[in-house]
Structure 1
Amino acid sequence: MFHLQDDLDLLLESPSSLTVNSTVRGTIKEKPGFNPSEDAAALRKAIEGIGTTEKTLIDILTQRSNAQRQLICKAYQDATGRTLCDALEGDTNGHFEDILVALITPPAKFDCQEFIQAIKGAGTTESILIELFASRSNHQIKAMCDAYLAETGRALIHDLKSEVSGDFEKTLLILAEGKRDESTNVDMAKAKEDAKVLYEAGEKTWGTDESKFIDILCHRSVPQLRQTLVEYKSLSGKTLQESIEREVSGRLEEILVAIVKCVKSVSSYLAERLYKNMKGAGTTESTLTRIIVSRSEVDLQDIKAEYKKLFGTSLYSDIEVRKTFARKLLVLVNFTKNCQVTH
């Protein structure tokens, strides 16, 4: 298994989407001179005419920010008495419909719906839970929990408890509280101490004290943890990720490794998720949609750059060779309009 950004010293000054709310590195921007009523009328014509005009749907919904799309949804409902979501679901289908509906869904509600899908049915999709809680900031997690309460009338944490167990449950529940320390100050002595605690809880002893890993990785701030990663490598000669992979197993290993990767670089972690999803036994279209739509206003430019750096091919070209659905996904994230793309 490869390790993302092993040159740990480079991490200390790099920004993190876990701590900085910014749309600068997204591929979708707000449209200047935006008129929601005009857009709603154009969408209505595209949907209600003879044969749906897909190009109009794509051009409008991918060249407006999510906040602007919410205004379009309101204007559409005011004009037609019908929600845009209902109109799209009645007039499009398959994965293309899924992408369009995702684009008009507020980000917190979209994360909430992905969470619901992950815990629905006979088996819980743990990989989605890991991605959601490891890659989201405190603010995003709290917004998702609020959306879940509004949607279901229940606390997200309450329902999460019934789906998972053991140390994996403990880790997820701490992350789901959205209470990671947000201080930007780094306590060097504390970083050395935490590195020593982690070393003694794992590599240095027979048996592993998983609780120490869970406590430190789930509570410390991102800058503090980055310094701890540097101190750990200096102390043990191994990266913390390598030690976790040696000392821990199963779902707990997966979530702890995901946390470490996201502390280092959320965009690298998500680039790897996209690559494995497309190169594995079967592509899960919902994973492509979830990552690309949810990050299109956050850090999709960085994900593209990390993808090229890690795998030597562009995300664009790897999606381009896929079937019609994935080709439409390229347009939906404005790869070609807002970014320099290497084909």
Structure 2
Amino acid sequence: PCFTKSTARGTIKEKPGFNAGEDAAALRKAIEGIGTTEKTLIDILTQRSNAQRQLICKAYQDATGRTLCDALEGDTHGHFEDILVALITPHPKFDCQEFIQAIKGAGTNESILIELFASRSNHQIKAMCDAYLAETGRALIHDLKSEVSGDFEKTLLILAEVHLTFSPKFFKTSSSIFPTVQILYEAGEKNWGTEESKFIDILCHRSVPQLRQTLVEYKSLSGKTLQESIEREMSGRLEEILVAIVKCVKSVPAYLAERLYKSMKGASTTESTLTRIIVSRSEVDLQDIKAEYKKLFGTSLYSDIEVRSIK
């Protein structure tokens, strides 16, 4: 799938009258003075675009001989440090670092992999793969193969590779979708036993407009939504990633709003999920995520984050 990137729906815009040198000097003063002035760090880094932050980083290093990242890591701590460092990291490198975090250590964090590959556009996935190669000297796909297995691996690898071969073939008429719908129906609901490979092939290789039409036609044919069929017919990580793809076909912002809600719903907040989604979507579609959050859960994302932070 190729999920559309729209910068118009972000919450962060470029600051008019921007001056990288002035911002770098203010940050230096906030960091090097007696006691870090957190308000200055927050005000500057949350009110500049990522491209502007890169210019601030360069100006800071030119003036001090030290990277802004090193300065922040030496002077701030915990989740506050994490979000400030995320804000000054170029988007592809940030996704790459989240990928590395997901496969690091004894166990793989599959839910992060699912989120990254289901919600990112082909352009973003390619940029993440390029950043990974630059960072590690290895192909992301090579390392991904060593972390996952089975149909879950197959699905992730197709999503990771699709940017190399993808060419949108938009549907012309609803009738052209019917063979696809029939294949899905026969691979699942209609017959005993599920042919997972057909679900994987269709959900990973069709354009979003085709898949949206497929969801409508599938419900009309089977009486169930495709998501319901996947949940009935499959289990485990394969079920999770295919359901995530279906949700992202319908609405990436709604899918990410749900991820944010779940990250705050448990006994403890998963700050890394909050940081990843809010920072990575702040110039893409965070306005839409906020709207979907309110629609789905009846409260504002802002107030829920505020309540969780107080706890």
**TM-score after normalising by structure 2:** 0.93
**2: CA distance between counterparts of 1:39 and 1:194?**
54
| Match among 81, 91, 104 for residue 97 of structure 1 | 81
Alpha-carbon displacement from aligned partner over 1:171-210 (angstroms, at most 9, x marks no partner): 0000011xxxxxxxxxxx3311111100000000000000
**1: CA distance between counterparts of 2:193 and 2:99?**
33
The Cα of 1:53 is off from its aligned counterpart by 0.5
Alpha-carbon displacement from aligned partner over 1:50-88 (angstroms, at most 9, x marks no partner): 000111100000000000000000000001000000000
Q: 1:111 to 1:39 in 2, by over 3 A?
A: same
Alpha-carbon displacement from aligned partner over 1:128-153 (angstroms, at most 9, x marks no partner): 00000000000000000000000000
| Match among 29, 36, 40 for residue 52 of structure 1 | 36
Percent identity, aligned pairs only, is 90
1:27–1:296 contact (8 Å) kept in structure 2: yes
Secondary structure class of the residue paired with 2:11:
coil
**2: CA distance between counterparts of 1:286 and 1:192?**
41
Output the aligned Cα RMSD. 2.2
**2: CA distance between counterparts of 1:277 and 1:95?**
15
**2: CA distance between counterparts of 1:283 and 1:21?**
28
1:26–1:297 contact (8 Å) kept in structure 2: yes
The Cα of 1:341 is off from its aligned counterpart by 17
The Cα of 1:250 is off from its aligned counterpart by 0.5
The Cα of 1:236 is off from its aligned counterpart by 0.4
Say whether residues 1:299 and 2:267 are aligned partners: no
Secondary structure class of the residue paired with 1:127:
helix
Alpha-carbon displacement from aligned partner over 1:275-332 (angstroms, at most 9, x marks no partner): 1111124321101100111011010010010000001111111111xxxxxxxxxxxx
**2: CA distance between counterparts of 1:53 and 1:160?**
41
The Cα of 1:342 is off from its aligned counterpart by 18
- The number of residues matched between the two structures is 294
**1: CA distance between counterparts of 2:310 and 2:107?**
39
**2: CA distance between counterparts of 1:342 and 1:313?**
17
Residue number in structure 1 paired with 2:190? 204
Alpha-carbon displacement from aligned partner over 1:256-293 (angstroms, at most 9, x marks no partner): 00000000000000000011111124321101100111
Alpha-carbon displacement from aligned partner over 1:209-230 (angstroms, at most 9, x marks no partner): 0000000000100001000101
Unaligned runs of 5+ in 2: 162-174
Secondary structure class of the residue paired with 2:42:
helix
Residue number in structure 2 paired with 1:155? 139
The Cα of 1:21 is off from its aligned counterpart by 2.8
Unaligned runs of 5+ in 1: 1-19, 178-188, 321-339
Compare the two structures and name the one with the higher helix fraction.
Answer: 2
Q: 1:85 to 1:174 in 2, by over 3 A?
A: same
1:314–1:342 contact (8 Å) kept in structure 2: no
**2: CA distance between counterparts of 1:38 and 1:271?**
36
**2: CA distance between counterparts of 1:21 and 1:218?**
18
Residue number in structure 2 paired with 1:86? 70
Secondary structure class of the residue paired with 1:24:
helix
**1: CA distance between counterparts of 2:120 and 2:310?**
28
